[in-house]
């Protein structure tokens, strides 16, 4: 179908919202620091390689140019999640973090113009400007109402946004020159290797000890991690597929900006279920309540993004 990419693009933010809620719980209950989170996330990115190892799908090495863009996309992608978990460990509000991530909406077209000379129609830039208003409201809320220092949350999330935007653009360039699965495999493998490289930079002398600790953590909570990372991986695949089909990476960026509203909706449903089932878990309750805090500002920002989607679709 002509607009099949639009349907596919909506799958990723929903699955990422589920993963974000789980991440907030893991940050409080299981992860010791951001390196636990980044390595667990990164290692699971290598799962598609097993499809080639077991002969399920073939792999054809692409051209050097495509290979460069694919591996660059994976490296900056995992770098964006290092920044994301840095912010999350300072203020464990996934819906707010995901809302800040919506800066991809104005950043992607600017970087596309700066790096690749991409030209969009005027109405597309109107949509970008409207979405930017929503993001400014969130920034005001985080600084003035929540009183969280910029260097603890906003700056890491801006770093995550820039890196994620670059990843989207690099992926789009790679998919234009090679098959989907060939690029996806390189993307995922480079992201996995990148997570280990980040760990090695932090623990130069104790890398293997630290890695064993993370492996033990993953083994202990394997079922939850495989669920979380599995959902996130499927979301990543659908996001990459949407990028490979969409006329512009900007369009996909705007749609994926809906993740915060999904996070709040999922959190509210879980709070309701806990009350109906008469179950009590202090940690879970605190995590879920934090996701719906400041819902008025988040809903306003999301409304801006929905209006923006009308302009760019």
Could you state, in order of their start, the residue ranges of all structural domains in the chain? 4-312
Residue 294 has pLDDT above 60, yes or no: yes
Residues 18-77 have pLDDT tens digits of: 888 888 888 878 888 899 989 988 887 787 788 888 888 888 888 999 999 999 999 999
* The token pair that represents 69 in the structure block: 């863009």
How far apart are alpha carbons 151 and 164 in whole angstroms?
A: 19
pLDDT-based confidence at residue 309 (cuts at 50, 70, 90): low
Cα torsion 76, 79, 85, 86: sign: negative
**How far is CA 27 from each of CA 74, 214, 236, rounded to the nearest angstrom?**
23, 14, 21
Residues 208-255 have pLDDT tens digits of: 899 899 889 888 888 888 888 788 878 878 887 887 787 777 777 777
Residues recorded for the chain: 313
| Cβ atoms of 148 and 43 closer than 8 Å | no
163: Cβ–Cβ under 8 A, 6 or more apart, which residues? 76, 77, 79, 80, 83
- Exposed/middle/buried for residue 245 (C-beta within 10 Å: 0-12, 13-18, 19+): middle
Task: Round to the nearest angstrom and report the end-to-end CA distance of the chain.
Answer: 15
pTM as predicted = 0.82
Residue 171 has pLDDT above 70, yes or no: yes
């Amino acid at each position: 179908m002509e607009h099949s990419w639009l349907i596919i693009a909506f799958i990723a933010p929903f699955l990422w919202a589920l993963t974000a809620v789980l991440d907030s719980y893991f940050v409080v209950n299981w992860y010791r620091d951001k390196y636990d989170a980044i390595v667990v996330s990164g290692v699971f990115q290598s799962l598609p390689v097993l499809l080639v190892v077991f002969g399920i799908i073939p792999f054809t090495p692409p051209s050097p140019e495509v290979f460069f863009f694919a591996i660059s996309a994976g490296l900056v992608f995992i770098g964006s999640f290092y920044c994301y978990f840095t912010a999350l460990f300072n203020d464990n509000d996934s819906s707010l973090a995901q809302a800040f991530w919506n800066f991809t909406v104005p950043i992607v077209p600017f970087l596309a113009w700066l790096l690749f000379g991409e030209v969009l129609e005027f109405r597309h830039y109107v949509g970008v400007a409207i979405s930017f208003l929503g993001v400014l409201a969130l920034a005001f809320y985080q600084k003035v109402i929540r009183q969280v220092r910029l260097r603890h949350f906003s700056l890491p999330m801006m770093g995550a946004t820039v890196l994620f935007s670059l990843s989207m653009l690099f992926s789009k360039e790679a998919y234009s020159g090679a098959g989907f699965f060939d690029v996806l495999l390189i993307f995922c493998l480079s992201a996995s290797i990148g997570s280990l490289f980040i760990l090695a930079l932090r623990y130069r002398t104790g890398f293997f000890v630290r890695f064993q600790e993370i492996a033990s953590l993953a083994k202990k909570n394997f079922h939850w991690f495989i669920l979380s990372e599995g959902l996130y991986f499927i979301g990543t695949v659908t996001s990459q597929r949407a990028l490979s089909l969409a006329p512009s990476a900007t369009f996909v960026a705007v749609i994926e900006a809906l993740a915060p509203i999904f996070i709040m909706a999922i959190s509210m449903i879980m709070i309701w279920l806990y009350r109906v089932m008469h179950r009590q878990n202090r940690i879970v309750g605190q995590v879920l309540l934090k996701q719906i805090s400041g819902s008025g500002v988040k809903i306003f920002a999301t409304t801006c993004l929905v209006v923006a989607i009308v302009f760019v679709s």
